[in-house]
Amino acid sequence: MTDLSRTGITLLPGWALDAASMQPLRQALSAALPGATIALANLPALRMAELEPGLTEWAEQLQPGLLVGWSLGGMLALQLQRRFPERFPAVVTLASNACFVQRKDWLPAMPAATWKQFYADFCDQPEKTLKRFALLVSQGSEDARALARALPWDQHNIEQRLHLLALLGVLDNRAFLKRATAPVLHCLGAADALVPADAVEALRTLDPAARICQHPAAGHALALDQPDWVAAHIVEFMESLDV
């Protein structure tokens, strides 16, 4: 298998967040892997109706190698891996779920009614809703309010954010994960306000071959709040891939 530490690592943020949100993890990985090329990439303005061409265009802009995606970024990283396995041979997801919103056969996720209300609130009061979202993201951090205030938002307009939010609500990676043969690492936090803690067991049942680790106290902001812990698990994951 390709030595991913030499082919590159690309970090993808979550919904509505700028790639700069991944800078703490980038610094931790740079210290642990001084020879690696570590890039930050923003999420493009994807929409479900044009997902295939959007992902293809995006894939051509990203360096080949390991994809590390936070939340929606992790779900999209798996979508990229499914379509372009030779370009992206392995994926790490951070605080990411197979389905972000509950299905009848996938209960460890956000209730559909909660997600629909959040979507409606963002339509009506986007700035106020973003502030509430920031508090949910930072919940579980030692200084949650300071982290919430420091979150860097992306440059998408409201319409583009709504399209990405709709995408977050409908993406379903379960079928891919169930039959996946490519290496995947899932890192989650036990105090995550957006991805239930019991998603760990559901992911493990879905894909027994995947590596899964859960921080006992961290919330959704793993990449910002626990960068050294995440970096250590990524390095261990990469070492298991190199031959």
- Residues known to be catalytic: 71, 192, 220
The whole-angstrom separation of Cα 51 and Cα 82 is 13
- Of the candidates 94, 170, 161, the one whose C-alpha atom is nearest the C-alpha of residue 129 is 161
- Any alpha helices (H) in 62-218, and if so which ranges? 72-83, 112-124, 126-138, 144-150, 158-170, 174-179, 199-206
Q: Is 134 helix (H, G, I), strand (E, B) or coil?
A: helix
Contact 78, 146 (CB under 8 A): no
The whole-angstrom separation of Cα 200 and Cα 143 is 25
The whole-angstrom separation of Cα 130 and Cα 122 is 7
User: Dihedral, CA atoms, 42, 45, 50, 54, nearest 10 degrees?
Assistant: -30
